[in-house]
Every structure is written in C-alpha cells, then in structure tokens.
Amino acid sequence: MAEQHLPERQSPLEPEYHPGSHGNFEHGVDVILSEMRPGTILQLAAWPGEEKQLIEIIGEVTGLALPDGAGGGVSSGARAAFGFAPGKFTVVDEAEGLAQAFAGAITPAVGTLTDLSHGRTAIRIAGPKAEWVMAKFFAIDFALPAFPLGAGRSTNHHDVFAQIQRTGADQFDIYVFRSFARSFWKALCHASEEVGYEVQ
C-alpha cells in the first residue's frame, strides 16, 4: 500500500510543554529538556542463543554496531540502539518506517519485533546537572564509569517504567510509557527548577 500522507502525531506532553527558560535560571540553565519525537521506536527480542544473530541484523539494518554485553548500546545522531533486558533491544530512528526494514530480517527463528513508536515517549535531558536531576528519580548510578556512553538501563520511578540511554557525557534519553509521559514530564520539570532548565 502506498504511503499516504499522515497527520502529525500528537505529543502526550502538549499542554505541559513550554519552550523557554524556567526555574532558577537567572545564573544560567544547567539542564535542557526536550521531547525527542523519533519516528520509530522498536523492541527487538532474540530467542536464547540468537542474541548475536540479532545484534548482527540490527547492524545490517541500521548501521549501528551494538556492543555485546548487558545494557550495551550505541547512538549516532539519527539512530540509537541499546540492550535493556536479556536478549532484548530498543532500536530508535528519527524517521518512521524502520519496522518495515526489519520485517523481513527478523525471522521466527531469530526472535520478534514489536513496534512501540506510539507507545513510548522519548525525553532528553542534557546539561551539566543532568546526572543530578536524574538521581532524583532513579536509584541507579549515573556516573560515567558506571553508566558509559551509549549504554542502556531499565529502571523505574514509582510506577513509571523507564529505559534510559546515555547519549552524551551529560545527556540521557529516557523512554517512558506514553500514558505516563505527561506525569513524568511534569515531575522532571519540577525537579529541574532548582538548577534552572530550558525546554527546547
């Protein structure tokens, strides 16, 4: 079927998304918050023993060389991938349609593909106080040696599941369930007030 023109996807953050500087920003903003709005968010799962095969497929389809090992990940401007659970990976692309590219490659012998492009909301936090603000939410170690560049983590804040990828020395991309996204976003803005934040 020919790709028809689709309306813009609605952001779950809409009424609470206020670009500009907020909080204690008189001395500068120490974090920048933004919604990423990638076109594709996929979950790929390999059957036990097929993980390496899946990593290879991800490399072939996306050009991302995923390091092996728990939570290993990589990001290049437009695309990102990381492990978040045994044999499971999140693959993200700025553009829509990556699912179709994988459809033929992920055979039943390898594993499964689940499209979560609508179901997860991607929020980016960047800046010198990004680790500080993240530490208010998640009981995991955000220091660079413990959470290296590109790596992924699964954790939660109360009932809000989150997958987090470090995409810069002081930058994290947080994937939360869409239905929780606004609530989480409000909490994130609230927690960032102290250090001054800018919404882009």
Partner 1 sequence: MLITCPYCGPRDVIEFTYQGDGNRQRPQPASQNLDAWNAYVYDRLNPAGDHNEIWQHSGGCRAHLRVVRNTITHEILSTEFARGGHKTESRS
Partner 2 sequence: MSPRRAETGGRIDRLRTIRFTFDGAAYTGHAGDTLASALLANGVTLFGRSFKYHRPRGLLAAGVEEPNALVTVLRGEVREPNIPATMVEIYDGLVAVSQNRTPSLAWDIGALNQLGGKLLSAGFYYKTFMGPVIGPLKGTRFWMFCEHFIRRAAGLGKAGTAPDPARYERMNAFCDVLVVGSGPAGLMAAKAAADQGVRVILADLEAHFGGSANWSDEIIDGMPAADWAQRAVGQLEGNDNVRLLPRTTVWGYYDGNTLAALERVTDHKETPAKGEPRQRYWAIRAGTVVLATGSFERPLVFPGNDRPGVMLAHAAERYAVEYGVLPGQRIALFTNNDSAYRSAVALKKAGATIVAIVDVRADISNDMRRLAGEAEAELLDGHAVIATEGGKALTGLKVQRFDALSGALSGDERSIHADSLLMSGGWSPTIHLASQAGAKAEWDPARQAFLPPKPTQRWIGAGAFTGSFSTAEAIAEGRAAGVSAAGGTAAPAALPTVEAAPGDPDPAPVFEIKAKGKSFVDFQHDVTAEDVRLAHREGFVSVEHLKRYTTLGMATDQGKNSNVPGLAIMAEALGKPIPEVGTTRFRPPYTAVSIGSLAAERFGDLKPERLTPMHDWHIANGATMYSAGLWYRPMIYGLPGETIEQAYVREAKATRESAGIVDVSTLGKIAVQGPDAAEFLDRVYTNMFSTLAVGKARYGLMLREDGLAFDDGTTWRLGEQEFLMTTTTANAGKVMQHLEYFLDVIWPELKVTVTSVTDEWAGAAIGGPNARAILASCVTGTAVDNATLPFMGIVHGRIAGVPVMICRLSFSGEMAFEVYSGAGYGTHVWQALIEAGKPFGLVTYGLEALGTMRIEKGHVTGAEIDGRTTARDLHLDWMLSKKKPFIGSAMMDREGLIAPDRLELVGLIALDNRPLNGGGHVVEELDEDNPHDSLGHITACCYSPALGKYIALALVKDGKARHGTRAFVSDPLRNRFGQVEIVSNHFYDPDGSRMHG
d(CA 65, CA 55): 8
Choose among 49, 99, 59, 102: nearest CA to 81: 59
- The binder of 167, among partner 2, partner 1, none, by C-beta within 5 to 8 A per type, is none
* Sole binder of partner 1 in the list 1, 2, 6, 139 (CB under 8 A): 139
Distance of CA 186 to the CA centre of its chain: 18
Residue 116 tokens, joined: 């979560």
> Which of 136, 144, 169, 200 lies at the binding interface for partner 2 (CB under 8 A)?
136
Amino acid type, 18 = H
Report, in Å, the least distance between residue 195 CB and partner 2.
Answer: 8
Burial degree of 15 (CB within 10 A; 0-12, 13-18, 19+): exposed
Residue 70 sits in the site that holds partner 1 (CB under 8 A): yes
Q: Is 76 in the site for partner 2 (CB under 8 A)?
A: no
- β-pairing, 40-46 with 120-126? unpaired
- Binding residue for partner 1, selected from 11, 117, 154, 171, defined by CB under 8 A: 154
Tell me, rounded to whole angstroms, the distance of Cα 17 from its chain centroid: 18
- Our finding on whether 180 is near partner 1 (CB under 8 A) is no
| Residue count (the chain) | 200
Using CB distances below 5 to 8 A depending on partner kind, what does residue 154 bind out of partner 1, partner 2, none?
partner 1
Q: Minimum Å distance from CB 83 to partner 1?
A: 8
Contacts (CB under 8 A) with partner 2, residues 36-75 = 43, 45, 47
Query: Which of positions 155-174 make contact with partner 1 (CB under 8 A)?
Result: 155-156, 161
Quote the strand ranges of the chain, DSSP E. 20-22, 31-35, 40-46, 73-76, 79-85, 88-93, 111-115, 120-126, 152-157, 160-168, 171-177, 197-199
Closer by beta carbon to partner 2, 4 or else 68: 4
Please tell me whether residue 112 binds partner 1 under the rule CB under 8 A.
no
Number of residues forming the site for partner 2 (CB under 8 A): 54
Please report, as ranges, the residues that interact with partner 2 according to CB under 8 A: 1, 4-7, 9-12, 14-15, 23-24, 43, 45, 47, 88, 108, 111-112, 114-120, 135-136, 138-141, 143, 146, 157-160, 177-180, 182-184, 187, 190-196
